A and B are shown apart, each in its own frame.
Chain A
């Protein structure tokens, strides 16, 4: 028996970073907003307190803050000809659950994408010619430009208090920053974090090789900061328990530390946790959403009518919710028809290990989630791809964020996996190794997509999302090329031995790689190749907005959070300035 509740102005599905920001703005604009969160409420006090929060087994290995794959997971296959099977334990990517979402356990890397990323198809065609792009790829433009988003990047960085050094302020290159970055209106709100030893070694070597190192923009703050919402954050103390953990110091920018205190104080907002949304309900002609149906923590089903539905779940869950609700035509890779699920992309990561002599003491456990020194010389289209046979790139850097020993036992290639020699190698190398990270782009490909699984179901009886994905040849070439460059930097750092681990196929779900799952509900200016318009409004059901990295038509060289934050504020402006004044389509199809 479904209980029908009183209609509200807006319902927000998923109370992570996006949901918290959108709900705050809509409630402040006078709307009565209900926020539905599938996980539990959780706060810095008491849930995130030390020393209990510094428990590697519980949080890193057993994944206490993550989506519970016993109840809700995905199925996976590399190719459409295979049978997808459930990912019985999530390992390769780790969506969070609970109030604050994945941003509670993020690293804090807060990058912008470059201007060419937003017009990738056009840019590649103009620079390299019409026939350069592999025809199996599905690269396309976003429908927005960097200039559209710049003020929103700025607003998001100032909300977070991001620590960094500008490289380009209104076209003027700034010493010590990233000279490749697109112009920004002003510097970061706080200066860079202290440089780690690994970062210093990397910076000197990269400079000597003619590259342009800069401090990684970090939302683990370098010093106390009061954000425009009036909330004060503290300086990060480099505890080394950041990603996969929550911060007890109010030093990592998360919904709990940047926005939720303001939102939760607004009586026009109501938070409901433990609520698993089953579907967005549509009217009889399927042109308007009438609200959502959800099941609460005690198993009771409710219908929550609403005039406006914002889905701000994790990217994969946004896509699944559209498919479960029948909003937009599902993508068919055979015919190329349909849009929901197309352009699923990821992040092509690889690494280099540089092994030093015993007199170089690294102390890998002293780190914040995002303290690091990086170069963008091989990111995006900052280098000539003409003779290389691939597009895209990666940032390279010393961005090690911890020395937690269950996860971190660096040993040279050829070392036994166990026994006396393994143990001796761990003792010898633990404090004398630097890891370099190669964080690469992911192009969309016609055969990589998301749909509903025909066989496996979640604990509520709904079909699981099915992921069909393998690394495009383009990205494996990119990884090989740039990993080799990173090996050269490792040697220039003075390491005795350097090992490169370029990404190899097939994609496997057993090894952590990245939680940067993008696409599936992509934005664009053509309803035949996108699910939402440039304001993240559904082409099919205009009172549904789908905000998430699900909107990225392909993924760029950097961590997606900065770009997702800017898209969030971009969409909020469209909602407040256009949609709420005249509800309806913001772009004619």
Chain B
């Protein structure tokens, strides 16, 4: 049998609830599933595709101040957050996925939310260029400052004191902080949260999904290695004996 059709598949499986997804694929497709799929423990290389070299110096230094390394867990750089940012900004998110982009443009009230024409990619490039110019004029560089001075500069961005070529610095700072936290805690498949270290640090089990037996053992710490989206080697599919799979 070259292919498991929906009908024969459902008939064969009957009431079983879980089968390997690979079994649903043709032999050729099965062969295409790599035996050694990348795992969360293989860190993404620090190759930047979106940020230029100058931008990387600022981004790495700034993100590490937002989430610094300490005894509890890695900082932003160690967790791969800057690589996460690079991929997100270079992809659909950076290009304005799900962002309504038609004018006319007006500042609006804070309750009306983001009203700038910039996509996230445009916002970061614009703001980072203005910050770079700002430091050039001072004859210094953000990444060379001591930690406290870096924090003071970031706070000045946060409070909205700078106009970064049309990007209010508070808007840029909020976007940077939000994306840094996303990269720190999202699944490692996106390049951040390397080795699931941020999940281990707080005790979040990740994509693991069955607490039926544990949920009423009140107050007992759940001790289990977290699970990444990349790590479910079985590719389980939950089939229903009566509802046909739409494959």
Instruction: Decide if B207 is an interface residue (CB 8 Å cutoff).
Output: yes
Given A55-B187, A420-B70, CB of A82 within 8 Å of CB of B102: no
With a 10 A CB-CB cut-off, give which of A68, A196, A234, A363 has the most chain B CB atoms. Answer: A363
Given A63-B98, A420-B68, CB of A45 within 8 Å of CB of B218: no
**1/0 per residue A351-391: CB within 8 Å of B?**
00000000011010111000100000000000000000000
The answer to whether A366 touches B182 (Cβ under 8 A) is no
Instruction: Decide if B219 is an interface residue (CB 8 Å cutoff).
Output: yes
Known: A45-B237, A62-B98. 7 other contacts (CB 8 A): A46-B247, A69-B99, A88-B115, A89-B98, A250-B243, A417-B177, A430-B202
Partner of B112, one of A56, A77, A240, A371: A77
8 pairs, CB–CB < 8 Å, chain A vs chain B = A45-B238, A56-B187, A69-B98, A239-B211, A250-B243, A403-B204, A404-B204, A419-B65
Nearest first, the 8 closest Cβ-Cβ pairs linking A and B are: A45-B245, A366-B211, A239-B209, A508-B111, A54-B207, A405-B185, A57-B186, A197-B218
With a 10 A CB-CB cut-off, give which of B97, B227, B238 has the most chain A CB atoms. Answer: B238
**1/0 per residue A38-61: CB within 8 Å of B?**
000101111001111011110001
With a 10 A CB-CB cut-off, give which of B72, B109, B241 has the most chain A CB atoms. Answer: B109
The answer to whether A423 touches B72 (Cβ under 8 A) is yes
The answer to whether B100 touches A54 (Cβ under 8 A) is no
Partner of A85, one of B108, B222, B245: B108
The answer to whether A366 touches B207 (Cβ under 8 A) is no
Q: Nearest Cβ in chain A — how far from B203, in angstroms?
A: 5
The answer to whether A361 touches B209 (Cβ under 8 A) is no
Q: Which residues of B contact A508 (CB under 8 A)?
A: 110-111, 113
CA distance A577 to B143 in the complex (A): 75
The answer to whether A85 touches B115 (Cβ under 8 A) is yes
CA distance A49 to B19 in the complex (A): 12
**1/0 per residue B9-22: CB within 8 Å of A?**
00000000100010
Instruction: Decide if A25 is an interface residue (CB 8 Å cutoff).
Output: no
Given A194-B216, A238-B215, CB of A55 within 8 Å of CB of B207: yes
Partner of B211, one of A62, A240, A419: A240
Given A405-B198, A509-B113, CB of A423 within 8 Å of CB of B70: yes
The residues in B between 158 and 185 inclusive whose CB is less than 8 angstroms from any CB of A are 158, 177, 180-182, 185
Given A76-B112, A363-B214, A424-B72, CB of A419 within 8 Å of CB of B151: yes
Q: Which residues of B contact A406 (CB under 8 A)?
A: 181-182, 185-186
CA distance A453 to B122 in the complex (A): 28
Category for how many chain B residues contact A: 35 or more
Partner of A86, one of B100, B111, B227, B244: B100
Nearest CB in chain B to that of A92: its residue: B113
Instruction: Decide if B139 is an interface residue (CB 8 Å cutoff).
Output: no
The residues in B between 14 and 47 inclusive whose CB is less than 8 angstroms from any CB of A are 17, 21
The answer to whether B210 touches A44 (Cβ under 8 A) is no
Nearest CB in chain A to that of B199: its residue: A405
Q: Which residues of B contact A417 (CB under 8 A)?
A: 158, 177
Interface of B is mostly: loop
The residues in A between 70 and 115 inclusive whose CB is less than 8 angstroms from any CB of B are 70, 73, 76-78, 82-83, 85-89, 91
CA distance A419 to B150 in the complex (A): 11
**1/0 per residue A422-444: CB within 8 Å of B?**
01101100110000000000000
The answer to whether B111 touches A78 (Cβ under 8 A) is yes
Q: Which residues of A contact B73 (CB under 8 A)?
A: 423, 427
Partner of A509, one of B98, B111, B210, B231: B111
Q: Which residues of A contact B96 (CB under 8 A)?
A: 70
Q: Which residues of B contact A234 (CB under 8 A)?
A: 17
**1/0 per residue B87-117: CB within 8 Å of A?**
0000001001111111010101111111100
Instruction: Decide if A241 is an interface residue (CB 8 Å cutoff).
Output: yes
Instruction: Decide if A507 is an interface residue (CB 8 Å cutoff).
Output: yes
CA distance A82 to B108 in the complex (A): 9
The answer to whether A405 touches B247 (Cβ under 8 A) is no
**1/0 per residue A378-419: CB within 8 Å of B?**
000000000000000000000000011110010000000111
Instruction: Decide if A510 is an interface residue (CB 8 Å cutoff).
Output: yes
The answer to whether A231 touches B243 (Cβ under 8 A) is yes
Category for how many chain A residues contact B: 35 or more
Instruction: Decide if A492 is an interface residue (CB 8 Å cutoff).
Output: no
The answer to whether B243 touches A69 (Cβ under 8 A) is no
The answer to whether A70 touches B100 (Cβ under 8 A) is yes
Q: Which residues of A are interface residues toward B (Cβ below 8 A)?
A: 41, 43-46, 49-52, 54-57, 61-63, 68-70, 73, 76-78, 82-83, 85-89, 91, 194-197, 200, 230-232, 234-241, 248-250, 256-257, 261, 360-361, 363, 365-367, 371, 403-406, 409, 417-420, 423-424, 426-427, 430-431, 455-457, 506-510
Q: Nearest Cβ in chain A — how far from B187, in angstroms?
A: 6
CA distance A231 to B243 in the complex (A): 8
CA distance A366 to B204 in the complex (A): 10
CA distance A473 to B210 in the complex (A): 44
CA distance A52 to B21 in the complex (A): 12
Given A50-B236, A69-B100, A237-B212, CB of A507 within 8 Å of CB of B207: no
The answer to whether A88 touches B238 (Cβ under 8 A) is no
CA distance A82 to B111 in the complex (A): 12
Instruction: Decide if B3 is an interface residue (CB 8 Å cutoff).
Output: no
The answer to whether A427 touches B237 (Cβ under 8 A) is no
CA distance A82 to B66 in the complex (A): 36
Partner of A197, one of B190, B219, B229: B219
The answer to whether A44 touches B104 (Cβ under 8 A) is no
The answer to whether B100 touches A87 (Cβ under 8 A) is yes
Given A194-B216, A200-B218, A237-B211, CB of A44 within 8 Å of CB of B238: yes
The answer to whether A366 touches B115 (Cβ under 8 A) is no
Q: Nearest Cβ in chain B — how far from A501, in angstroms?
A: 17
**1/0 per residue B191-205: CB within 8 Å of A?**
000000011011111
Nearest CB in chain A to that of B181: its residue: A406
Given A194-B215, A238-B212, A361-B221, CB of A50 within 8 Å of CB of B114: no
Q: Which residues of A contact B97 (CB under 8 A)?
A: 62, 70
Instruction: Decide if B240 is an interface residue (CB 8 Å cutoff).
Output: yes
The answer to whether B209 touches A54 (Cβ under 8 A) is yes
With a 10 A CB-CB cut-off, give which of B215, B221, B239 has the most chain A CB atoms. Answer: B215
Q: Which residues of A contact B219 (CB under 8 A)?
A: 197, 360-361
Q: Nearest Cβ in chain A — how far from B154, in angstroms?
A: 8
Q: Which residues of B contact A426 (CB under 8 A)?
A: 202
Q: Which residues of A contact B209 (CB under 8 A)?
A: 50-51, 54, 237, 239-241
The answer to whether A366 touches B68 (Cβ under 8 A) is no
Q: Nearest Cβ in chain B — how far from A435, in angstroms?
A: 16
Given A430-B202, A506-B111, CB of A232 within 8 Å of CB of B100: no
CA distance A248 to B17 in the complex (A): 11
Q: Which residues of A contact B222 (CB under 8 A)?
A: 363, 365-366
